Chain A
Amino acid sequence: MAERTIHAPHANPETTAYWAAANERKLLFKRCQACGQAHFYPRALCPFCFSERTEWQESSGQGTVYSFSVMRRAAAPYVLSYVTLAEGPTMMTNLVDCDPDAVRIGQRVRVVFKASDSGQLVPMFTPDRT
């Protein structure tokens, strides 16, 4: 099966830490030090209380599939998913290195990192068989 080209993300001053961490195979999210809530995608201002005291934290990389769909009209079918991280927030991602027909909502997954067309690593998820 042909591999899909992953288009590189364009980082900005607000997100350089996230993508630098991804290149070290670490998945970051942000937690607000004012209201205590975690959010994703990461922002400078908390989307819940608007505090500027948002802090980078490293995710365990463990999650569960909230929902998914399989693009069948692509040269290489791929799985788009929302994965709920163990830390709380749900993030958009791809499920990779798996049989699309075997994916199930609620399935345990773990983060893996795949190279985009610029070389920047991008967090994705794969079924957790441990």
Chain B
Amino acid sequence: MFASWLPVIIVAILIGGVVVVFSRYNDLVRSKKRVEEAWSGIDVQLRRRASLMPNLVEMVKGYAEHEREVFEEVARARGAVQQAGGAGQAANANNMLSQALLRVFAVVENYPQLRASENFMSLRGDLADAEEKIAFARQWYNRNVLDYNTHIETYPDVIMARSFNFASAEFFRTDEEGRAEVHINFSRRPASPEQPASPPAA
């Protein structure tokens, strides 16, 4: 009696196991796709901010031609943002850009006329908005990364993740260590020859 049922039970267990494995695998893939989607959200905002740079540089140049060093730093940082491969690199490049921006604004402080001009104020508003959007995009991305990383590092998904080579995703950090790294990387890196494209005369 039992013997006649045994093959059926074994087959059922096997089928059940396969189904479970498939669905766990699909869950992992879905989770990974979500991280990628959230990353594209950050990427869009990073590029948006970087695209504001030529305008800013052009505007400040009109007043402070001699601050070439600052402009070059902005150009390098912008290039780095555009070429960044992963979350870590992009975060570094973005921090670099933030620092370059700080220097630009320090220069602007010396030119009250520029500071008060309508164009500059509106650009400043756009920059602030872009920064806020990056912050929110980062939050969303990091939440997804946390979820994904927790998945692939906890039992039972960890078995699946190991056997199918699911690598853990990188957080997008903006902490102090990140900034320090920027400087080291920066000094080692050859200066990007790319100059910011001059904006259409406005």
* A and B: bona fide binding partners: no
Interface residues of A (CB under 8 A from B): none
**Chain B residues within 8 Å of A, Cβ to Cβ:** none
